[in-house]
Amino acid sequence: MKETARYSEKKILVLGLAKSGVMAASLLHKLGAFVTVNDMKPLSENPEAQGLLEQGIKVICGSHPIELLDEGFELIVKNPGIPYRNPIVKGALDKGIPVITEVELAYQISEAPFIGITGTNGKTTTTTLIFEMLKAGEKSPLIAGNIGTVASGVAEKATADDSIVIELSSFQLMGIEEFRPEIAILTNLYDAHLDYHSSRHEYAEAKAAITKNQLASDFLIYNAEQEAVRLMAARTEAQLVPFSTEGKHEKGAYVENGAVFFRGDRIIGIADIALPGKHNLENVLAAISAAKLKGVANEAIQTVLKTFYGVEHRLQFVASIENRKFYNDSKATNILAASKALTSFEEPVILLAGGLDRGNEFDELKPAMKNVKAVITFGETAEKIERISKEIGITNIKRVDNVEKAVPAAFELSNEGDCILLSPACASWDQYKTFEQRGDMFMEAVHKLN
């Protein structure tokens, strides 16, 4: 960890706990700051806050009192999930008090360079692929952010010989000041999180912040197929490294003659890549670009790509039973994500879909369903998904109570060579606490078929 006195004897408010808030508060306390923690959860139900209290950190729980702004704080470290319309956050900014997220704190203390990955979709898969490739290439990677350990906890232990591979959300990137990744990646840009951001423009600008501090010695890997991303890339000072599944880009990664190339060097045949789908091929291109910039040998990259079957709950290969392949895509909590999953397969698909009804119809899913031979529905949206299935001529439709019952129902309808895909196109909260729980129930039901 870099030695720093910048926080010594400064009054700092950590707003919101969870893992990142706990780590930020503890770190700032070690750095000599006068830390106050404020969290909505009552102290009696808040073991994290109780632990900080035992460290001698001031803790205020149960509400976000606006009067905190009268205490003369010089900095606020905000939990990324707390929106900027929160009265304390808004009031702090009006008073000129800087508001950062824990990622910025991690950068300020880190001896290791960062490889930062953001975008609407593909962040987790790309981050994991890069980590695995660097590990296979013996490049001493550490993984952090949304996918791994809290960034400041990783940065505290990292050395100059390490590289921190970090998945970054728009929420986190809105709270950076100096954060500068050695390699930044923009996977893609679609409308998302508009309930948090005031506009699509604000969301896009938050994503673009990943490259705002980069210099000419840094690299920006970007999706050259999307105009919005190309426009972002045009604003950077970093060296541009495009990737595309459509066109040849001599300065980056591309597809040609059934293989993936990086700057003219053939890396791997597409048929040898374990991850299915065009969207995953984009993730592969981005990851290869980062790995090659870090000097990873082709053989190490090939080993990872031939054996990596996906991140848990994200088009994750689960099992092959009697020549039926099962895939867990419980993370597909919206129509766009489910569409991407469906278009990944050329084989006949039995789709398991349904969940929380947020009021939207599912007509946008129809074009992606050309290989769907049967549909098993569940949850609040079952009727809506059945409607669009019938409208495109699917007659084999069955409604069940939940994901656990959907698996044997799908197996009964299947033939050899079919793919049975959980890609709900809906959030899970009508029946499950999280999409992870839903995916776990799916996988457990699949393994019971054996």
Looking up tokens 């997220």, which residue turns up? 101
Give domain limits for the chain.
Answer: 11-100, 104-307, 316-448
320 pLDDT higher than 70: yes
Write down the mean pLDDT value for the chain: 94
Q: In sequence order, what are the beta bridge partners of 11? A: 34
Annotated binding residues for ATP: 119-125
Q: Which of 117, 112, 113 is nearest to 157 (CA)?
A: 112
Mean pLDDT, range 78-104, rounded to an integer: 94
Q: pLDDT per residue over 113-137, tens digit each?
A: 999 999 988 898 999 999 999 999 9
Q: In sequence order, what are the beta bridge partners of 164? A: 114, 142
How many other CB atoms are there within 10 angstroms of residue 252's CB atom? Answer: 23
CATH class of 104-307: alpha beta
CATH 3.40.50.720 describes domain 11-100:
yes
Contact 233, 222 (CB under 8 A): yes
pLDDT for position 197: 58
Q: pLDDT per residue over 221-237, tens digit each?
A: 999 999 999 999 999 99
11-100 against 104-307: fold identical: no
Give 49: exposed, middle or buried? Use CB within 10 Å, 0-12, 13-18, 19+: buried
Indicate the pTM of the whole model. 0.81
Residues 6+ apart with CB under 8 A from 169: 80, 118, 123, 146
Q: pLDDT per residue over 328-363, tens digit each?
A: 999 999 998 899 899 989 899 999 999 999 888 999
Q: Which fold has domain 316-448?
A: Protein-Tyrosine Phosphatase; Chain A (3.90.190)
pLDDT for position 193: 55
pLDDT for position 196: 63
Cα-to-chain-centroid distance, residue 251? 26
Q: pLDDT per residue over 94-106, tens digit each?
A: 999 999 999 999 9
277 pLDDT higher than 90: no
Q: pLDDT per residue over 22-61, tens digit each?
A: 999 999 999 999 999 999 999 999 999 999 999 999 999 9
pLDDT for position 148: 67
Give 200: exposed, middle or buried? Use CB within 10 Å, 0-12, 13-18, 19+: middle
Report how far residue 396's alpha carbon sits from residue 372's, in angstroms, rounded to the nearest whole number.
10
pLDDT for position 276: 84
Q: pLDDT per residue over 174-215, tens digit each?
A: 999 999 999 999 999 876 555 665 677 888 899 999 999 999
Q: What percent of the chain has pLDDT over 90?
A: 84
Residues 6+ apart with CB under 8 A from 297: 137
What is residue 149's DSSP assignment? B
CA-to-CA dists, residue 79 to 20, 45, 144, 343, angstroms:
7, 19, 16, 36
Looking up tokens 């003219």, which residue turns up? 264
Tokens of 443: 């996988």
Q: Which of 356, 372, 353, 370 is nearest to 414 (CA)?
A: 372
Terminal-to-terminal C-alpha distance of the chain: 49
Q: pLDDT per residue over 288-319, tens digit each?
A: 999 999 999 999 999 999 999 888 888 899 99
Tokens of 351: 């789709």
Report how far residue 174's alpha carbon sits from residue 171's, in angstroms, rounded to the nearest whole number.
6
Looking up tokens 């423009």, which residue turns up? 201
Residues 6+ apart with CB under 8 A from 276: 315, 344, 345
pLDDT for position 200: 78
Residues 6+ apart with CB under 8 A from 329: 313, 314, 315, 316, 337, 338, 341, 421, 422, 423, 424
Q: What are phi and psi for residue 256, nearest 5 degrees?
A: -155, 135
